[in-house]
Structures are given as C-alpha cells and as structure tokens.
Structure 1
Amino acid sequence: MEKKSEGTLAIILLALIQGFLASNAVEVQPSINPAAVGDTVTLSLSPPAALKSGSWALGESLILTWLGDQQAVIPSHSGRAVVNILTGALTLNSVTMADSGVYVVQSSDPQLRANASITVLDPISNVTLQANQTDFMEFNSSAVIACSISSGSSPSFLWLNGSSEVTASDRVQLTDGNTTLTIVNVTRYDQGPFRCHVFNAVSNGTSDPVNFTISYGPDNMALTVNGQNTTSFSVGSNLTMLCSAQSSPPAQLQWAFRGEVVNTTGPLLGLYSVTEDQSGPYSCLAFNNHTNMNSNITSHITIAKSPFSGTEQQAVHGPLLPLLLLVGFLFSLPDGGGSFSP
C-alpha cells in the first residue's frame, strides 16, 4: 500500500514538473545579444533541463533535432549548429545577419516550449568624410560634409568639432539621418577639426578629421605704446609701438604719421629720443589680400618736456643757491655754527 502511494506521488510530481516546464517557466538566454557577424552565440535553457529529445528552429525553419545522443542538423546549418544533448543548449558558430530572429526550442520529454530573439549586426567599418570644399571666405560660403561607411547595420551618426558634439542650430543643419553636416555662412570659429563618429550596438568607428581654412579680417585691431595704455611721453623717450589685428591669412601692416604713410611695415614702429614735433596721430593700417578688406587704428601721441627739465629746473633751484651757501658757511665756523654774534 505504501509503495502504491509513493508511485502515485512520483507520477504527480512528474506531471507537475512537466506542467511547470510547459508553462514557459524555462527561458532561453542568449550568451550575446545583439551579436556581431562572425560571433559564436549559445542559447541556453534557464534553469537547465535534461531533455531526452527535442528540436531547435529559427521561426518556422527547422535547424536541428536530437534523440538521446543522436542529432541531425539540416544542411543550411551544417557545421555551424550543435546542441548539447545534456542541457539542450544550442550553439551557433560564425553567425550572419540571416541568423537574426526568434529561436524556438521544443521537447516532448519532458514537455516544454520556449523561445528567445537574437539580433546579429554587421560591424561598422571604414568611416569616411567628403567635403564640398575646404577653403572658405568668412560669412560668404556654406560648408557641406557627408559621412559614409563601407559596412555596418543600423548605424547611428554623431558629429564632433574637436572634442565637442555638433548640434543643430540656425547655422548648423544635420540631414539625411545625420549623415550630412551643413554649416551656413561659415565663420572663423568653424575651422574644425570635424569628425564623424558612427556606431551600432556591437561596434563603432570614427573618421579622419577634416579642417577648414577660413579667410577673415583684418579686424579687432589693437595698438599699444611701450606696452602701456598711456599716450603721453617726455621729450627724449624711446617709444615702441605694437600693432595687432585678427586676420587670416595674417594682415599686411603699414604705419602712417599725421595721415602720411611712413617707410615702416610690420607690427613694430620704433621712435628714439623723441621730440615735441613728433607729437600727433600715429596710425596702423592693415590689409588682407585674400579678403581684400582693410582696417586701421589710430593713437594720438603727446610728447612734452618734463616739468623739471632745462631752464625750469634753474628757476626752481636758483633762489635756493645763496641760502645753501650760507648754511654751508655757518657750519664751517670753528664752533660748528651753532650761534652767530656780532
């Protein structure tokens, strides 16, 4: 009687287990998902189950079947698919994009059915850029760069200017699925380097940089004298004037005094032992032969005598001379000049 009860209990437990497995308690877990073309993917059962027989299919297409330690693989997967007869796990070697889909495992001993999806992606390769041109005039041209790849499935495109991400704005357009970057009315700040970064779930790649040459200026000129902001100097001083301008290519610089061009070019103008008649407006003229633009800056320099120089010094010190002589005489007397008596 006791043995009959144990047998009944075993049958009930087996039925419960089969029902448990049949109710999708067993899941299929891919070792990689998504996978790259060429990877090896294993589809394992969780929890593991000892299946005496069963089959694997991709959608409705059979891949293989097994019974005990015997398995049969259909020709399309010959040499690439194998099942672990102890655990029921399916291993796929050298997967291709055609291996993407829903994989279904079925068994009648014990009863179960489970499935899982995997996606196989082609890795990104050979990211390249093509620009409409690389030399521009500021505010007069638009730059267009196209990004392309030799291979890669489901790619996403990201643009970089240096280390900063390029985002759309009034002047910046990202079109054709972000594969094309257009910069309207380029400025001096659009020189780059521009790169295209392409990625998917299994790989990524970045293009070589593209740099632009943008001609601009001259503008934002500055003029200093002896490295100072002052414009007043004493007669006899040495003056070094420094002129600068923002310009690409560098501007040609010419100097003028009182509206007349002087025979000095370049950023420096030196004046030595200046005199009063060298007071007046000094101008720096800048010209860019690429943009055909020019600009200028003027500083009014005043050169005057020092208030303590020449005859003015004599006028100050003249009346003091007799007093100094008298004091020196008194201190030279034998008693030290401490007193004076008639």
Structure 2
Amino acid sequence: METRSATSHRGLLPWQGLLLAASLLTFWNPPTTAQMTIDSVPSDAAEGGDVLLLVRNLSANSIAYSWFKGETVTSNNQIAAYLVADGTTTQGPAYSHRETIYPNGSLLFRNVILGDTGVYTLQVTQPNFLTEIASGQFRVHPALPKPSITISDSNPVEGKDSVVLICEPETQNTTYQWWINGQRLQDGNRLNLSDDGRSLTLFNVTRNDTGPYECETWNLVSGNRSDPVTLNISYGPDAPSITPTDSYFYPGTNLNLSCHATSNPPAQYSWFFNGNHLQSTQELYLPSIAANHSGSYTCSVHNPTTGLNRTTTKNITVIEPVSPPSIQATNTTVAEEDSVVLTCLTGDTGVSIRWVRDDQPLRLTDRMTLSPNSSVLTIDPVRREDAGEYQCEVFNPVSSRRSSIIRLEVKYPVREDSDLSGGAIAGIVVAVVAGVALIGALAYFLFFRKIGRASDQHDLTEHKPSVSSHSK
C-alpha cells in the first residue's frame, strides 16, 4: 500500500505544480556573481573639472548600456545608449555633448557644471533581454575665485576708530579664514569674527594692527588666498627726542639740534627758545653760539590727523673753557710727622677740583683732608710715603686743565740698631773681609795645582815612545 504523500504527488494538479515550482524558486537561490556598482571619481568635483562614473562588476555578456540622469529609467531623461556589438552610441534627450560612454560601461563627464550635481542610473541589457540597474552620484562645487579684501575705513586713528574687513566675494558652502603676519586670527578682546568668518572687526585699532591681512576661502574641492593688504593707521606723535644729548658747549661752536618723534603721518616740527618761536623745522642750526644762547630749547611736534601735540625741552649752557690753575704749598720739604697744606688757585667760577699725585688720581688716606670745595689739601701728619709730585686739576663740563707740578720731599732720620756697638760692627766687617780673602786664596791654590798636574801628564806622554823603542 502506498503512502499518502506518494499518492498526493502522483495526483498533483497542474496549478499545484506551478505553485510548487514557485515555492522552490523562492527558497532556493542559485549561485550569483557580484552585484554591479557605480563609483564616482571624484565624488566631489570642482566646477570645470572631469568626473568618471566607474562601473564595477559589469557582466561580460552585456549587449547594451544606457545612462539616465536621475533615479528613474525613462526615455525623457536618457543621456546616451551604447551598443556593444558595433560600439555605436545613440544620444538621448539629456545628452549635453560633454558625456562619453566607454566599452566597459563607464560614463565620463567633461567640464562639469553645477547643474551636473545629482544621481545617474545605468541600465545594462543581457542577451536574454533581462536588465540590471545600478546608480551613482556626484556633487559639483563652484571653483572659488581669488578673494579680495574690502576695508570700511582706510585711514583709522589709533585708539579711536574701529575697522571692518570683509572677504569678497560671498559664496555658498565656503569656509573663510583670516591671517595676519602669517598667523591665523581668532576671536579676541579687540577683534571679532562674524559667524561665517567672512568679516573681521577690529575695535579701537592700534599701530600694531597695521597688518598685512589675508583672507582665505576654501570648500571641499578648492581653496584660494587673497593678496595681502595693510591698514594705514594714524598714530602719534610720541614724545619727541632731541639729539645730541650734550648740554654744554664752547662759545664759538655751531649748535645743531635735531628733533624726532614717532608719528603717522609724519609730525610737524617747531622750535622755541625760552618760550619764543624760532623756526618750524625738524633741525635747528645756530652758528657760532655765545653765552647769550644759553637757555631752554623746546621742540614741539604736531600730528594734524590725530590732532595730538607733544613737546620736549633741552637746556643748553654755553660755557668758557677753564684756565690752568696754580698750586701753592706751605713747604715742599717737610720732616716726617710734620704737616703740609697744598692750595689750588683758580680764577674760574663754577669749576670742580681734583688732586693728582705722580700723574694718578690722588687716593685720600685718613691723614688727608680736603676743604669743602676741594681747593685745599691738608696732610697731617706727613709720612715718607707721601713724597711725590702733586698737581691740582680744575674742570667744567667742556674742558679741564692741570697746574704745574710741586714736588713734596719728606725727610726722616736714619735709624741705628741699638743692639750692636761700633766695635761689634767693625769686627763683623773685618770677619767678612777675612773670609773673602781666605776663599780667594783657596781658589788660587786649587787653580795652580790643577795646572801643575796637567803639565806632568803632558811630559810623561812625550817620553813614553822612546822608552818603548829602547826596550824593543
């Protein structure tokens, strides 16, 4: 007896067989090849560049390719069709004369434009007229032009004005970056960047904000940097300085004073003498000055753009050179333990005095005192080491002169040693003389003894040959 399942199989109706076949096809998948894909090279392209839609895992049995713009396959959005058998290409309504289909199915876009951004679909036809579909996409970005910088105020004033710098042109999907002196700028206490980074605001500019400034733009496919620009910031003037630094001059010399102040734009200069205007120049020249040119010289500087003024005053003194002084001494020959007073005499006023011994500045000891104006030098008591050549020197800010030399001699007694009497000293002298004589006699004896030995040796050498001959 047959089983129920076998009986059912034998009596299977036609529609039941079709259902079984469908079930088998549903649950049994035959081995398949890798699925076809499309890669965009590159996926983000710059406007004006090229993009290749590269087909991967294309069936070797394909007989035709068709490319479409968009995700749907319709005749209206067909770009082109390629017939593998003869390599012919048929253009479709969406063809722009910039597309090329290659035998491997890939599609090349040349000189892409922003409107090319989107999805593209490839339909591949097999010999059995079955089709396979795959899609790829790319995005076209604008090629950024070289940016430039506009400035809200081309001549700001230091500490007063604010400046806004804008990077042009404005483009979408663009990142903006600012640089100063090659360093990247970020928000700070005195500067602010807009949300998109396109504008830079400098508050209360200073001379250090001069620049140069550069703005940089970039997106996924390109980047560019502007030419550098600098700000013409008005500042100053700072406090002026006067050269030379000398304040004392000889009569008859030429006075040439120069004034300088840091300022932009350059400052305007004026000179005043004791409050009276002299001239409006940066340099002041007065030939062959005299005593009446002594006084205060003021340099006044002005910046017409900032409206600021600064002044500096220098006092000038015209003074005669000093005359040689003279020197007096209470005594030039003194005994040790006595005192001496040296006086420097000068007819000049407003001078200073210093003392010199043996051509070197005098070093005062605790036995030396000077008068309040240093014109009188007192040595009390005098020591033998105080002897030497003394001079006084007078000087003012423009000259110095020395007096003639006074030589100070210090007498002191010769000291005798009390432990030795005159006889003892005489005995020592006699002993020394005798010792010297004895040493001389001994040297004389040794010398002639040496000569005698040398003579005997010579005689013996001369007689030795004759003796040898006689013996033979």
Q: CA deviation at 1:192?
A: 4.4
In the TM superposition, what are the counterparts of 1:207-226 in structure 2 within 5 Å? 207=226, 211-225=230-244
Indicate if the aligned counterparts of 2:40 and 2:138 stay in contact, CA closer than 8 A. Answer: no
Structure 2, unaligned runs of 5 or more: 1-29, 326-346, 348-393, 395-399, 408-472
In the TM superposition, what are the counterparts of 1:39-188 in structure 2 within 5 Å? 39-45=49-55, 50=60, 52=62, 53-57=64-68, 60-62=71-73, 63=78, 64-66=80-82, 68-69=84-85, 73-85=91-103, 87-103=104-120, 105=122, 107=124, 116-125=136-145, 127-149=147-169, 152-161=171-180, 163-188=182-207
Indicate if the aligned counterparts of 2:71 and 2:120 stay in contact, CA closer than 8 A. Answer: no
Indicate if the aligned counterparts of 1:29 and 1:45 stay in contact, CA closer than 8 A. Answer: no
Indicate if the aligned counterparts of 2:180 and 2:211 stay in contact, CA closer than 8 A. Answer: yes
Write the distance in 2 (CA, Å) between the matches of 1:136 and 1:125: 29
SS at match of 1:75: coil
Indicate if the aligned counterparts of 1:251 and 1:288 stay in contact, CA closer than 8 A. Answer: yes
Write the distance in 2 (CA, Å) between the matches of 1:241 and 1:255: 10
Q: CA deviation at 1:243?
A: 0.8
Write the distance in 2 (CA, Å) between the matches of 1:309 and 1:267: 40
SS at match of 1:189: helix
1:4 match: none
What is the identity, as a one-letter code, of the residue corresponding to 1:186? V
In the TM superposition, what are the counterparts of 1:283-322 in structure 2 within 5 Å? 283-307=298-322, 316=403
Question: What is the CA deviation profile of residues 259-288 of structure 1, one whole-angstrom value per residue up to 9, with x for unaligned ones?
Answer: x22422221122334444534432211122
- Does 2:297 match 1:278? no
Question: What is the CA deviation profile of residues 164-197 of structure 1, one whole-angstrom value per residue up to 9, with x for unaligned ones?
Answer: 5443321111114112121111223334454433
Write the distance in 1 (CA, Å) between the matches of 2:248 and 2:57: 91
1:28 match: 39
Aligned with 1:196 (options 187, 212, 215): 215
Write the distance in 1 (CA, Å) between the matches of 2:108 and 2:152: 48
SS at match of 1:136: coil
Q: CA deviation at 1:101?
A: 3.5
1:247 match: 263
Structure (1 or 2) with the greater strand fraction: 1
Structure 1, unaligned runs of 5 or more: 1-14, 321-342
Q: CA deviation at 1:103?
A: 4.5
Write the distance in 2 (CA, Å) between the matches of 1:223 and 1:47: 86
Call closer, same or farther: CA 1:298–1:47 in 2, change over 3 Å: farther
Indicate if the aligned counterparts of 2:72 and 2:121 stay in contact, CA closer than 8 A. Answer: no
Write the distance in 2 (CA, Å) between the matches of 1:204 and 1:38: 15
2:48 match: 38
Point out which structure has higher relative CO (alpha carbons under 8 A, 6+ apart): 1
Q: CA deviation at 1:232?
A: 3.8
Identity of paired residues, percent?
Answer: 28
What is the identity, as a one-letter code, of the residue corresponding to 1:198? T
Question: What is the CA deviation profile of residues 99-141 of structure 1, one whole-angstrom value per residue up to 9, with x for unaligned ones?
Answer: 2245455657599876654221122237454433323222222
> What's the Cα RMSD here?
3.8
Write the distance in 2 (CA, Å) between the matches of 1:302 and 1:50: 108
Write the distance in 1 (CA, Å) between the matches of 2:292 and 2:47: 84
Indicate if the aligned counterparts of 1:73 and 1:81 stay in contact, CA closer than 8 A. Answer: no
Write the distance in 2 (CA, Å) between the matches of 1:237 and 1:105: 100
Of structures 1 and 2, the larger Rg is shown by 2
Write the distance in 1 (CA, Å) between the matches of 2:59 and 2:261: 79
1:3 match: none
Indicate if the aligned counterparts of 2:149 and 2:166 stay in contact, CA closer than 8 A. Answer: yes
Q: Give the TM-score of the pair, scaled to structure 2.
A: 0.52
Q: CA deviation at 1:159?
A: 3.0
Question: What is the CA deviation profile of residues 32-59 of structure 1, one whole-angstrom value per residue up to 9, with x for unaligned ones?
Answer: 4432223332222457874614454555
Aligned with 1:268 (options 272, 283, 286): 283
Indicate if the aligned counterparts of 1:50 and 1:88 stay in contact, CA closer than 8 A. Answer: no
SS at match of 2:403: helix
Indicate if the aligned counterparts of 1:281 and 1:300 stay in contact, CA closer than 8 A. Answer: yes
Write the distance in 1 (CA, Å) between the matches of 2:53 and 2:210: 50
2:376 match: none
Q: Give the TM-score of the pair, scaled to structure 1.
A: 0.69
Question: What is the CA deviation profile of residues 202-233 of structure 1, one whole-angstrom value per residue up to 9, with x for unaligned ones?
Answer: 444555665544332211422211xxx44344
Write the distance in 1 (CA, Å) between the matches of 2:201 and 2:226: 17
Write the distance in 1 (CA, Å) between the matches of 2:250 and 2:142: 78
Q: How many residue pairs were aligned?
A: 295
What is the identity, as a one-letter code, of the residue corresponding to 2:159? F
Indicate if the aligned counterparts of 1:104 and 1:116 stay in contact, CA closer than 8 A. Answer: yes
Indicate if the aligned counterparts of 1:124 and 1:149 stay in contact, CA closer than 8 A. Answer: no
Call closer, same or farther: CA 1:290–1:79 in 2, change over 3 Å: closer
